[in-house]
């Protein structure tokens, strides 16, 4: 087995000391001096030591310098989300924390084709990006991925299943849960439109509003805790922009407002059954 550093050269692909704040700070400096920097945080759960570097430095680098300097060549990758037995520190979905930070982009693919196209878009985007990789899909998801270079535009959601009765919004692994739920709902005669948000910030308002204006009902699901999760931002914005079209309250199905538990994971996650119940609720409202 040749390691990546053997192929690319040890000055291009290398280990750092074990320090997340160091990794992100270092990568910001690389990017600010013109090097494309792709930093990895081993688990999204361990990105918090670098929170200051991301929030106070990377995100504000361009703005505070009057565009004299920027770290747009920075991308931070981190495995994210539930994995079955990851408990408190190998399961977290921290996208909501970063969604509150002007200046960074937050991206969340749902599978291999999406992951490659969106990651290349992050690396080439002139803004600092955080790229969350759902780790439960690392080995589970298999599909044909083009070997050639291609990108998927950031800031665009994708309608992955068309429908007329309810709009279902999710990202990452949860998109697959939503697709399963939509299939189950179809058997009950409910036509669901499933949207993969893909980019958390800046998010694709147009696609979301267009869908909700058509269906009049909306269910949002994410693994992260309910309170102040990104679903809250979506729900509030949809309510402000689609008020006259809404036939039922927007429902959020999310993780509980608890740390992510070990043996209780099955009760914690917004699984297909909980999402299906939410669909029934908005349809019967």
The answer to the question of residue 41 lying near other proteins (CB under 8 A) is no
Binding mask 194-213 for other proteins (x = CB under 8 A): --------x--x--------
According to the binding rule CB under 8 A, does residue 42 interact with other proteins? no
Applying CB under 8 A, which of residues 4, 5, 13, 63 lies at the interface with other proteins?
63
| Cβ neighbours of 148 (radius 10 Å) | 5
Position 8 contacts other proteins (CB under 8 A): no
- Interaction of residue 35 with other proteins, rule CB under 8 A: yes
Please, which contacts does 55-63 make with residues 24 or more away whose CB atoms are closer than 8 Å? Answer: 55/98, 55/101, 57/25, 57/28, 58/24, 58/28, 58/103, 58/104, 58/128, 59/101, 59/102, 59/103, 59/104, 59/128, 60/103, 61/28, 61/32, 61/103, 61/128, 62/103, 62/127, 63/102, 63/103
By CB under 8 A, tell whether 30 contacts other proteins: yes
* Cα distance between residue 187 and residue 21, in whole Å: 49
Based on the residue annotation, tell me whether 20 is a catalytic residue of this protein: yes
Size of residue set near other proteins by CB under 8 A:
46
Instruction: Determine the interface stretch with other proteins among 45-53, 83-91, 180-188, 213-221 (rule: CB under 8 A).
Output: 45-53
In a 13 Å sphere around the CA of 155, the CA atoms on its Cβ side amount to 6
Write out the E strands in the chain. 37-40, 74-80, 105-107, 129-134, 158-161, 166-170, 192-196, 199-201, 218-225, 251-255
User: From the list 45, 57, 95, 223, which residue makes contact with other proteins (rule: CB under 8 A)?
Assistant: 57
Residue that has been written with the tokens 């979905």 in this structure: 93
Residue from 20, 57, 95, 265 carrying the catalytic annotation: 20
CA distance 153 to 67: 23
According to the binding rule CB under 8 A, does residue 11 interact with other proteins? yes
Provide, rounded to whole angstroms, the least separation between the CB of residue 123 and other proteins: 15
- Whose Cβ is closer to other proteins: residue 73's or residue 272's? 73
Residue found under tokens 């991206």: 107
* Binds other proteins (CB under 8 A): choice among 44, 45, 70, 166: 70
Q: CA-to-CA distance for 113 and 164, rounded, in angstroms?
A: 27
Q: Which of 90, 95, 133, 265 is catalytic?
A: 90
Task: Mark the segment that binds other proteins (CB under 8 A) among 5-13, 86-94, 179-187, 246-254.
Answer: 5-13
Q: Judged by CB under 8 A, does residue 22 bind other proteins?
A: yes
27 binds other proteins (CB under 8 A): yes
Footprint on residues 105-144 left by other proteins (CB under 8 A): 105, 126-127
223 binds other proteins (CB under 8 A): no
Q: Is 176 a catalytic residue?
A: no
Residue 28 binds other proteins (CB under 8 A): yes
Distance in angstroms (rounded) separating the CA atoms of residues 161 and 244: 24
Using CB atoms within 10 A of its CB, is residue 205 exposed (0-12), middle (13-18) or buried (19+)?
middle
- In contact, 72 and 126? CB cutoff 8 Å: yes
Interface positions with other proteins (CB under 8 A): 6, 11-12, 14, 16-17, 19, 21-22, 24-35, 37, 49, 52-53, 56-57, 60, 62-70, 72, 102-103, 105, 126-127, 155, 202, 205
**What are the residue numbers of the active site?**
20, 90
């Amino acid at each position: 087995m040749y390691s990546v550093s053997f192929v690319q050269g040890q000055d291009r692909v290398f280990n750092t000391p074990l320090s997340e704040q160091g990794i992100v700070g270092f990568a910001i400096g690389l990017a600010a001096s013109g090097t494309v920097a792709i930093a990895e945080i081993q688990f999204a759960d361990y990105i918090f030591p670098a929170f200051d570097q991301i929030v106070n430095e990377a995100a504000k680098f361009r703005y505070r310098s009057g565009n004299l300097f920027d770290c747009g060549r920075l991308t931070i990758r981190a495995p994210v989300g539930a994995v079955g037995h990851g408990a408190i520190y190998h399961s977290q979905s921290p996208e909501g924390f970063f969604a509150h930070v002007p200046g960074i982009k937050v991206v969340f693919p749902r599978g291999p084709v999406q992951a490659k196209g969106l990651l290349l878009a992050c690396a080439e985007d002139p803004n600092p990006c955080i790229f969350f990789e759902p780790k439960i899909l690392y080995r589970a998801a298999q599909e044909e991925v083009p070997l050639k270079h291609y990108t998927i535009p950031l800031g665009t959601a994708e309608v992955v299943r068309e429908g007329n009765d309810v709009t279902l919004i999710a990202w990452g692994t949860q998109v697959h849960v939503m697709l399963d739920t939509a299939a189950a709902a179809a058997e009950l005669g409910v036509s669901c439109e499933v949207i993969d948000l893909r980019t958390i910030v800046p998010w694709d308002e147009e696609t979301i509003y267009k869908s909700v204006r058509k269906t009049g009902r909306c269910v949002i699901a994410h693994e992260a805790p309910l309170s102040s999760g990104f679903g809250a931002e979506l729900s509030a914005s949809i309510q402000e922009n689609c008020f006259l079209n809404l036939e039922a309250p927007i429902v959020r199905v999310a993780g509980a407002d608890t740390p992510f538990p070990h043996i209780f994971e099955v009760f914690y996650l917004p699984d297909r059954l909980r999402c299906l119940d939410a669909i029934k609720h908005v349809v019967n409202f």
